Amino acid sequence: MGLTLSRPDLISLAAGFTDNEFLPVRETREIVRELLSNPGKGRPTLQYGVTPGDAPLRRLTAERLRRLDGMGDGSAALDPRQVLISGGSQQMLYMTTEALCDPDDIVLVEDPTYFVYLGILQSHGIRARGVQVDRDGLDLDHLSKTLEQLKRSGAIGRVKMLYVVSYFHNPTGLTMSLEKKRAALTLLRGYERAAGHPIYLLEDAAYRELRFQGEDVPSALAIRGAAGRVVYAGTYSKPFATGIRVGFGVLPEPLLTAVTRIKGNHDFGTSNLAQKILARALSGGVYDAHLERLRRRYALKSAAMLKAFETHMPSAVDWWTPDGGLYFWVRLPPGLAAGRNSRVFQEAVRAGVLYVPGELCYAADPSRPIPVNEMRVSFGGAKLADIPEGVARLGRVLTRMVRRT
Amino acid sequence: MGLTLSRPDLISLAAGFTDNEFLPVRETREIVRELLSNPGKGRPTLQYGVTPGDAPLRRLTAERLRRLDGMGDGSAALDPRQVLISGGSQQMLYMTTEALCDPDDIVLVEDPTYFVYLGILQSHGIRARGVQVDRDGLDLDHLSKTLEQLKRSGAIGRVKMLYVVSYFHNPTGLTMSLEKKRAALTLLRGYERAAGHPIYLLEDAAYRELRFQGEDVPSALAIRGAAGRVVYAGTYSKPFATGIRVGFGVLPEPLLTAVTRIKGNHDFGTSNLAQKILARALSGGVYDAHLERLRRRYALKSAAMLKAFETHMPSAVDWWTPDGGLYFWVRLPPGLAAGRNSRVFQEAVRAGVLYVPGELCYAADPSRPIPVNEMRVSFGGAKLADIPEGVARLGRVLTRMVRRT
């Protein structure tokens, strides 16, 4: 980020920002004008709320999830009281991990996974254990083998959960099918007796609403009998405005009570102003209208990036094209490193383009080497007009480097 | 809080809310209108910022503290880079404690202290050790004895900091003098060799700007040579709008780096919209103008409460009158309990008035009994017109109870 600020010529395909030109400036201004139009309405907006969050926002969130997951509107499967509002979904990941894990515990993660989450684990002395992914998403065989091996080694009692970024996965862009979620939950359940406690699925759905192609997949909340083991973390930041940090979790007891207590200790509740802006945007249709524009925008940007890849990338490089979210996952030939200290990274910076080295997204797991020949390339933050040039710069570097190796 | 909502006849002298009728509704509306008046200005407001916070807000915060503490404007003693913006000062307390303490460590606290902070300690398995306070604030002799005793018992290596609410203390309303801060720091310093690490002073200045009488006291940041041992936690929530949760910390290295990393894991930065509202309010004079109105308001409410105490309280009850903040500290005769399960509390609820039982503000410290005959009575959240009636209700209950015992 520092580099981006100091080199205005640089095209950043690194940051997972939302499109700067598509932030709801006018919409937010109008909503705040209305919220604060008179003291009677304005005061509750500027006063403390309650720790679990604004009641209308919790209700709207539950209704929205029920709709997305195809549950009936009167469905008891998702009670607004299970919804806890947070300062972005990041805080929900943090608090859930804090509530569930002790130092030296184990969290299963996709290999690769969201690198900031690895930082959370590391800062608490929690071990991350990677489960392989391929083009189809989480490798269930590898999950099964990993669990079996943890059981044999006597470490299964330390396993507290499986963390997955289930929609347009950060960094690979993959979406996890409902069948995989169901199978993963069944597998986890099978080791609970050995573990001596529940093993949860933490479903990070941060990118869910950013789909621009294909059909939404139900979340693990929709799986019958799974509700007691699923923590769902969602956000309104990326689909609406990253400057208004509002996320949420759906949690089963006793986790709900534990995480609400932690939320009380963190900040006893997310900014009421931010929450009421989102509640108003959701109830008045502003959120959905904005999301539609955003989806069309990301479809365009993703298509522009794909076309630029096809034009500029040497044939030895391949990539996974997403149906939503912000990221392409790019793989160089095995011998060609793309890490922070690699020649490729340095030459890319020199050529004026930034990406996220894939190696940062792998847990420190001594049981396998960390792949170094991958990169996360984002079309989210860059200007549409800059994407072809950014990819062209990267393509030139890679063409040169592939030729050399 | 649940009780307050379900019993509209109840007068709450419990909550530390700010005055609902004095929230800056119009001011905030105007600021947001301006911030979002056009896309060029509006986009940075609605986009992600950087983890340590909005640069102008950090600069304004450093300048404001330099002014409050009588440091020169060019003073190197307070660099904006030492300022970290947080989601209310509560988050800063949480993160600092997380960064410094391991389970079983010891934090020295005022006895009584801010009860939510005790919750933070407890949730991390950190032990709180109470240091007595009297009308003059922290009892330095008792601090000295406590440190000496911890050294003798071999526990001094677990002591990481002293936490003080230094302005209009929650719950007692007391303000700590500069001399006491200096003496406390000197005492702590004297045990660092035995401890084998620095012992910090965490100065919670949440109520500092809510003074309505007398002169401001410099913070511990102003003490020469102490900067490396002081963490200062402040907030813009209570002085401006509790619904816009923006607080800040001033931290020395290496704590600054550690806490910034934790902030990145919590939420990688407080809502940019909230930060930019505050920056604009500070730079445009709106904050100071609002604070002036608020101070006059609290002066009125405090005076109304004092008058009501004088009128309605039986002579066996005494209280400490604050020069700022939100709280009176009320002490019943030693035999008369005011705790959650006490007759006094139950009768007060029945009579339609709520207070915070003082017992909640004491650490679980087996070396002394927890006093049960105290109450925190707040004039912050109640309507001015309700204060006399609320105190009259409490006075009637206490008069009856005193007579009976």
Query: CB B264 to CB A116 under 8 A?
Result: yes
Mean pLDDT of chain A: 94
Q: How far is A52 from chain B (nearest CA, A)?
A: 13
Distances (CA, A) of A264 to A269, B91, B110, B300: 7, 10, 21, 31
Mean pLDDT of B112-139: 94
Residues from chain B that touch A279, judged by Cβ atoms under 8 A, are: none
Per-residue pLDDT, A366 = 84
ipTM of the complex: 0.92
Checking if the pLDDT of B2 tops 70, the result is no
Mean pLDDT of B46-50: 92
Per-residue pLDDT, A17 = 79
| Rounded CA separation B56/B202 (Å) | 25
Query: CB A46 to CB B266 under 8 A?
Result: no
Q: How far is A382 from chain B (nearest CA, A)?
A: 13
Q: What is the pLDDT of residues B130-175, one digit of tens each?
A: 999 988 889 999 999 999 999 999 999 999 999 999 999 999 999 9
Checking if the pLDDT of A2 tops 90, the result is no
Checking if the pLDDT of B6 tops 80, the result is no
Q: How confident is the model at residue B17 (pLDDT cuts 50, 70, 90)?
A: confident
Task: Name which of A273, A286, A294, A378 to mutate to probe chain B: the one with the most chain B Cβ atoms within 10 A of its Cβ.
Answer: A273
Checking if the pLDDT of B1 tops 60, the result is no
Query: CB A261 to CB B123 under 8 A?
Result: yes
Pick from A123, A243, A272: CB nearest B273: A243
Residues from chain B that touch A119, judged by Cβ atoms under 8 A, are: 261, 264-265
Per-residue pLDDT, B3 = 62
Per-residue pLDDT, A120 = 96
Mean pLDDT of B40-68: 95
A286-295, B14-23, B260-269: least confident range: B14-23
Instruction: Count CB pairs under 8 A between chains A and B.
Output: 180
Reduced to 3 states (helix: H, G, I; strand: E, B; else coil), residue B263 is helix
Per-residue pLDDT, A74 = 59
Q: How far is A378 from chain B (nearest CA, A)?
A: 16
Q: Where are the beta strands (DSSP E) in B16-56?
A: none
Per-residue pLDDT, B76 = 65
Intra-chain end-to-end CA distance of chain A, in Å: 30
Pick from B49, B120, B244: CB nearest A271: B244
Task: Name which of A41, A47, A92 to mutate to probe chain B: the one with the most chain B Cβ atoms within 10 A of its Cβ.
Answer: A47
| Count of Cβ atoms closer than 10 Å to residue A372 Cβ | 20
Checking if the pLDDT of B99 tops 60, the result is yes
Query: CB B271 to CB A271 under 8 A?
Result: yes
Per-residue pLDDT, B74 = 59
Contact B171, B133 (CB under 8 A): no
Query: CB A262 to CB B123 under 8 A?
Result: yes
Percent of chain A with pLDDT over 90: 88
Checking if the pLDDT of B15 tops 60, the result is yes
Q: How confident is the model at residue A93 (pLDDT cuts 50, 70, 90)?
A: very high
Q: Give the helix/strand (H/E) hosting A180.
A: helix A178-190
CA B45 from chain centre, in angstroms, equals 29
Domains of chain A listed by start with CATH number: 2-23+288-404 (3.90.1150.10), 48-284 (3.40.640.10)
Q: How confident is the model at residue B366 (pLDDT cuts 50, 70, 90)?
A: confident
Query: CB B36 to CB A49 under 8 A?
Result: no
Reduced to 3 states (helix: H, G, I; strand: E, B; else coil), residue A345 is helix
From A42, which residue of chain B is nearest by alpha-carbon distance?
A: B25
Residues from chain A that touch B49, judged by Cβ atoms under 8 A, are: 243
Query: CB B47 to CB A266 under 8 A?
Result: no
Q: What is the pLDDT of residues B165-189, one digit of tens each?
A: 999 999 999 999 999 999 999 999 9
Query: CB A116 to CB B268 under 8 A?
Result: yes
Per-residue pLDDT, A1 = 55
Q: How confident is the model at residue B73 (pLDDT cuts 50, 70, 90)?
A: low
Query: CB B36 to CB A38 under 8 A?
Result: no
Mean pLDDT of A340-347: 96
Query: CB A123 to CB B26 under 8 A?
Result: no
Q: CB neighbours of A356 closer than 8 A, spacing ≥ 6?
A: A14, A115, A171, A375, A376, A377, A378
Checking if the pLDDT of A279 tops 60, the result is yes
Per-residue pLDDT, A76 = 64
| Rounded CA separation A67/A292 (Å) | 17
CA-nearest of A362, A371, A341 to A121 is A362
pTM for the model: 0.94
A218-227, A360-369, B70-79: least confident range: B70-79
Q: CB neighbours of A289 closer than 8 A, spacing ≥ 6?
A: none
From A34, which residue of chain B is nearest by alpha-carbon distance?
A: B29
Checking if the pLDDT of A30 tops 70, the result is yes
Query: CB A18 to CB B45 under 8 A?
Result: no
Mean pLDDT of chain B: 94
Query: CB B21 to CB A39 under 8 A?
Result: yes
Q: What is the pLDDT of residues B227-256, one digit of tens each?
A: 899 999 999 999 999 999 999 999 999 999
Residues from chain B that touch A123, judged by Cβ atoms under 8 A, are: 261-262, 265
